[in-house]
């Protein structure tokens, strides 16, 4: 989504790495904090949703001058819609996944959890997969529909969408393959069982593909506010 300035590609990779690190610190760190402090599942998930949404707004707006996807599904959708060059897709995704892993390690360390663990929290079933498909459809839809508008509009729309989708989907809206992979290596509130990851990612990619196709049919939106 970053358009100007056009920095060297190494800066884009660094931005994706740092941003996705920050995102996973927010996801896993807030998960640990709420699981310790909240005596109610609803309060825990409410706080988690607000924290993840606010963190996304912050990271997307601040890192906009360099690169701010932080999500392989978004990078793929932007490539499919002609906004990212094909040869850059794999490196960007690599930086995102590396950042996600480092973010989880830092969150584990900061809160005194085993710094590298394997989560065993089961997350599977038709309802949850439908949830991931819907969440990622919506996320990619709002990203593509706001691409080219002012950076903070993109930031707001993405952050608030995820905060809401954490509640209105059955899967609490991972909606991001790098986040999904990162959440394997923590044995805390936000973890996921490794064996449940492939189906989650498949559902996410299906949703992203659907949104890309729909926006393509609708026609590229004219930028409204820049």
Residue selected from 13, 16, 20, 26 as contacting a copy of itself according to rule CB under 8 A:
26
Record the tokens describing residue 94, joined without a space: 């690599």
Considering the complex, state which of residue 86 and residue 226 has its C-beta at the smaller distance from a copy of itself. Answer: 226
How far CA 175 is from CA of 13, 59, 204, in Å, comes to 21, 17, 6
Residue selected from 130, 199, 202, 206 as contacting a copy of itself according to rule CB under 8 A:
130
Within 10 A of 140 (CB to CB), how many other CB atoms are there? 28
* Residue numbers 193-222 binding a copy of itself by CB under 8 A: 214, 217-219, 221-222
4 binds a copy of itself (CB under 8 A): yes
Question: Could you give the angle at which helices 126-146 and 151-168 cross, rounded to 10 degrees?
Answer: 170
117 binds a copy of itself (CB under 8 A): no
- Stretch of 72-80, 87-95, 138-146, 199-207 contacting a copy of itself, by CB under 8 A: 138-146
How far CA 153 is from CA of 57, 143, 147, 158, 172, in Å, comes to 9, 10, 9, 9, 23
152 binds a copy of itself (CB under 8 A): yes
- Stretch of 79-87, 91-99, 155-163, 181-189 contacting a copy of itself, by CB under 8 A: 155-163
């Amino acid at each position: 989504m970053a358009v100007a300035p056009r920095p060297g590609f190494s800066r884009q990779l660094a931005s994706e790495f740092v941003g996705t690190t920050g995102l996973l610190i927010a996801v896993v760190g807030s998960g640990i904090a709420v699981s310790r402090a909240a005596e109610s599942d609803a309060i825990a998930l409410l706080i988690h949703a607000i924290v993840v949404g606010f963190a996304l707004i912050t990271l997307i707006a601040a890192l906009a001058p360099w690169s701010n996807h932080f999500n392989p599904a978004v990078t793929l959708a932007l490539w499919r819609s002609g906004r990212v060059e094909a040869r850059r897709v794999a490196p960007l995704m690599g930086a995102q996944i590396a950042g996600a892993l480092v973010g989880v390690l830092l969150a584990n360390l900061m809160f005194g959890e085993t710094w590298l663990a394997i989560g065993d929290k089961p997350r599977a079933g038709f309802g949850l997969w439908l949830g991931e498909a819907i969440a990622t459809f919506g996320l990619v839809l709002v990203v593509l529909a706001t691409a080219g508008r002012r950076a903070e509009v993109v930031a707001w729309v993405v952050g608030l969408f995820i905060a809401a989708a954490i509640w209105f989907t059955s899967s609490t809206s991972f909606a991001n393959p790098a986040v999904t992979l990162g959440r394997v290596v923590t044995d805390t509130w936000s973890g996921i069982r490794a064996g449940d990851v492939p189906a989650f990612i498949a559902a996410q990619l299906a949703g992203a593909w659907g949104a890309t196709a729909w926006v393509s049919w609708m026609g590229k939106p004219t930028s409204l506010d820049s």
